[in-house]
Structure 1
Amino acid sequence: MARRRYDDQDDRESHDRWLISYADFITLLFAFFVVMYAISVVNVGKYRVLSDALGDAFGGRPDVPQASSTIEQLPLANLIARKRADAARRERERLNTLARELNASLAPLVKNGQVRVTQTGRGVTVEINAKALFEEGRAALGGEARATLGTVASLLRNDPHAIQVEGHTDNLAIANPAFPSNWELSSARASSVVRLFIDSGVAAGRLTAVGHAANVPVAPNTDEAGRVRNRRVAVTILAAM
């Protein structure tokens, strides 16, 4: 009877051994599907982390296809960002050069306060006092005004940037046969400058004329000094980006 009990126990143990192989097979199958999922997601970094972890778990690291060092160190997004930054830097340099040239060419007028050259994120603006360009209440350019604007046009003729010309007035009402209001006066003055630029060789497609009347003052309209500053034409060379 003792012998029979021993054989029964041995037979049971023998029959249960398949569970060990089955468990190993399930583990390997799970690992296989995990690897297949990782491969299906195109992410070299995550694939490498996963493969290293599996290698540690199963006693050795598999060979992982190595992405080129350039792609790893400089992903596509970084390449695009760098190109944009380089383009923005070159654009700033071009506008800086243009601002210096305008300041130098218009130095006498800058010195006596009739012209201001400023640079912002929008571009380079040449602000010219209306007194240096027009007679009061008129939009026809005089001889000296044409010479001044001709100097500006010569610098802009071969420049690729778009140009916006804006006319501004003070807040005193105007009513004459030519201009019923400051809207017409400011628009006509901006158009006169645009026409001169076109005649000087600046491409018409780069130019825009805008009349603001008294709506964009740079000084209070409470005294004559402020009103003189507000009567102006602004030529803005627009930044490309």
Structure 2
Amino acid sequence: MSLLLTFFILLYSMSTISLEKFEQVIKGLSSAFGGEVIFQEGGIPEGTNLNIQMPKTYPKMRSRREIEEQIAKIHKMLQQKGLKAEVAKYATEIKIRINTNKLFPPGSATPYRSALPAIKEMCDKLKAISVPIRIEGYTDSIPIKTKEFPSNWELSAARAVAVLRIFEKEGYDPKLMSAAGFGPTHPIAPNTTPEGREKNRRIEIAVELPQ
């Protein structure tokens, strides 16, 4: 009987949890994921519910449908403001293509003052869904060589960064943004006609889709 009692005591001791160690584990896990655990004075609160706050975790994952609806609103807004724009859908991202003729003066990376409201409103609408974006700059194939821009590569990159800076100033999370310049590469129309070259001069906002 003594051995049997000892055996049950051993099983009970193995099944009990050290509250101190449990508290340390919870705090460690929460801290690693950017959260905070608030314990009542005296250690672990009674009951099974813990007050765990996670303010630094990744933003709410948006559905593809929600993203597409917001991009449709942006497309409509750009057209209403007289900017040529179109939407291109891919498996992992959606791109908003905006012709630069009314965004930037020729050979310049400083946006027209008249284009700022459209850029800012586009930022506000994207900020509402808080998704990762990549701002890309493209040019036509006509070479440029100025003191500021030795080639179309520098011009396209500077235009992409100019839009990114406006987004950043308007409060878009910098951790969700990147910029790239592609110069005359990746044309979407022939560069042999004025209409084709105009279409190739563009800024694209690539919106990452949930996987």
In which range does the TM-score fall when normalised by the shorter chain?
A: 0.5 to 0.7
Cα distance between partner residues in 2 of 1:182 and 1:172: 8
| Counterparts of residues 76-225 of structure 1 (less than 5 Å) | 91-109=63-81, 114-225=84-195
**Alignment root-mean-square deviation, CA:** 1.7
Change (3 A) 1:119 1:99: farther
- TM-score, normalization: structure 2? 0.67
| Counterparts of residues 19-58 of structure 1 (less than 5 Å) | none
* Structure 2 unaligned regions, length at least 5: 1-60
- Name the SS of the counterpart of 1:106 in structure 2: helix
Higher mean C-alpha deviation, range 135-144 or range 95-104 = 95-104
Larger radius of gyration: 1
Count of matched residue positions in the alignment of Structure 1 and Structure 2: 151
Cα distance, 1:99 vs structure 2? 2.2
- Name the SS of the counterpart of 2:86 in structure 1: strand
Contact 1:102 1:117 in 2 (8 A): no
More helix by share: 1
- TM-score, normalization: structure 1? 0.59
Deviation sequence 1:83-116 (CA, Å, 0-9, x none): xxxxx9x72221222122213322324xx56111
Cα distance between partner residues in 1 of 2:75 and 2:133: 17
Higher RCO structure (Cα 8 Å, ≥6 apart): 2
* Identity across matched positions, percent: 30
Contact 2:83 2:102 in 1 (8 A): no
Cα distance between partner residues in 2 of 1:118 and 1:138: 26
More strand by share: 2
